[in-house]
Amino acid sequence: MTSNQECYVYIVLPGKTEFITAARFRVTQNREGESIGEFIYSKNYLNNPDAVEFDPIELRLHAKKYETARMNGFFGAIRDGMPDYWGRRVIERNAGKVYLNEFDYLLHGPDDRAGALGFGLNPVPPAPRRQFNKTLDLEKLQTISEKILIDDLPNMGRKTEEEFEINQVQELLLEGTSMGGARPKAVIEDKNCLWVAKFSSAHDRWNYPCIEHAFLKLANICGLNVAESKIVTIANKDVLLVKRFDREFTKIGYQRHRMVSALTLLQSEENVFAKNEWSYLLLADQLRLTSADPKSDLKELFRRMSFNALISNLDDHPRNHALLAINKNWRLSPAYDLTPTSSVALDNRNLAMICGIHGRMANAINLVSGHGRFLLTKPEALSIIENMAKIIRANWDSCLFSSGASNRDHQAVSSAFLYPGFFNEII
């Protein structure tokens, strides 16, 4: 694959459907062998009256050259447009290689990556692809995704009699989002909408599609702004479809909305050494600076944090939160990837992000302790938690069973339900 360490960066502007060239990005090595990322907006782009920033923190609209030594020279907004674990797995299979550099993943990622950015070696951007998988393809995509997971496909780097399978694997490059984690997925089009199809896996402890759908429904009942979802059953297997909120259909194509992860807002990295930077409180501080409606978004963020604690969603890392810009303004995106974590701990559980003055402790006292950072009074914060707990108690069973969860699934996630220590006082 390519050894180039420089590329053009394209963007689809608000209200448009075609890429334009906006910037150049490259990674160089200094004398100590450290990777340094360099980014600069083009003069033509800066002179465009419709030009918008790539992110509201690190790559603001400016003529200067931006540099970073973090993340091997990759800026957060660029990292957000790169394939996730699943996308990388598919690219490796298609390339017939395992060890690729970050630029390989960047340039060979799907055309329909998350957000509004694109990357390429040509100064003129390519036309967006117009073909998408259909719901009719789900059985085929599910089958191929299972084969990828167990490494049961022919070498993608050579021609074989099974070339039709290679084409099917290439379809899976439309995995759709760099923020979707490790689960097998593909993008499909249904009724003029794009959906991320999330498949089941042979290693699943429960019916993940139905369980995730159930908790998206439960969050919606709790009043959260969540991504639309639905379950379809193909060949006796459930598939979760989550509607993409960074795409909007028009008669001439799909508009692409800018999107950056909370990891980028926090200017943090995705490793254990950076976990002390993963914080709802710090994210709230950034929302006050970047959101077009900080009061509403801060209250929404507090409600999501509380919901995650109440359902033991302990994998609420910063890639599972994002800012979205449908026009020029940034707002908190709809919630996504809301799944419970089965746990035996009864006294205390920890979220992935710091949620109060006592760190990651997922209990009411700690959640309320940071109320001021969310522009809430202490009584307001406590009322939100108590009301949400009542709603969850009243709707837990119905949401699970109406979403297709079995008794076995219900039992498997039962320990996530309002664990006993949630309302305990901190000692």
Percentage of the chain with pLDDT > 90? 62
Selected from 3.30.200.120, 3.40.50.300, 3.40.50.620, 1.10.3720.10, the CATH number assigned to the domain covering 133-243 reads 3.30.200.120
pLDDT over 80 at 160, yes or no: no
Mean pLDDT, range 214-231, rounded to an integer = 97
String of DSSP letters for 296-311: HHHHHHHHHHHHHHHT
Residue with tokens 């001021």: 372
Q: Which of 359, 278, 368 is nearest to 316 (CA)?
A: 278
CA distance 73 to 94: 26
Question: What mean pLDDT is reported for the chain?
Answer: 86
Helix (H) or strand (E) holding 389: helix 378-402
CA distance 324 to 108: 24
Mean pLDDT, range 306-314, rounded to an integer = 96
**Residue 260 bridge partners (DSSP):** 323
Contact between 427 and 249 under an 8 Å Cβ cutoff? The reply is: no
Helix (H) or strand (E) holding 258: strand 258-261
Full-model pTM? 0.88
Residue 376 has phi, psi (to 5 degrees) of -120, 150
Residue 343: per-residue pLDDT: 83
Contact between 278 and 268 under an 8 Å Cβ cutoff? The reply is: yes
109-123, 166-180, 197-211, 343-357: range with lowest mean pLDDT? 166-180
315-344: per-residue pLDDT in tens?
899 999 999 999 999 999 999 999 999 887
37-74: per-residue pLDDT in tens?
999 999 999 999 999 999 999 999 999 999 999 888 99
CA distance 176 to 250: 18
CA distance 222 to 215: 10
CA distance 95 to 109: 12
186-217: per-residue pLDDT in tens?
888 888 889 988 888 777 889 999 999 999 99
Res. 274 pLDDT band, cuts 50 70 90: confident
What torsion do the CA atoms of 358, 362, 366, 369 make, to the nearest 10 degrees? 110
- Comparing 394 with 188, the larger pLDDT belongs to 394
pLDDT over 50 at 169, yes or no: no
117-144: per-residue pLDDT in tens?
999 999 998 766 655 555 556 666 666 6
CA distance 385 to 306: 6
237-249: per-residue pLDDT in tens?
899 999 999 999 9
Residue 281: per-residue pLDDT: 98
- Comparing 90 with 115, the larger pLDDT belongs to 115
Q: Which of 49, 45, 154 is nearest to 59 (CA)?
A: 45
β-strand 229-234 against 133-134: which pairing, if any? unpaired
Residue extents of the structural domains in the chain: 1-131+254-427, 133-243
Residue 3: per-residue pLDDT: 45
Terminal C-alpha separation, the chain = 56
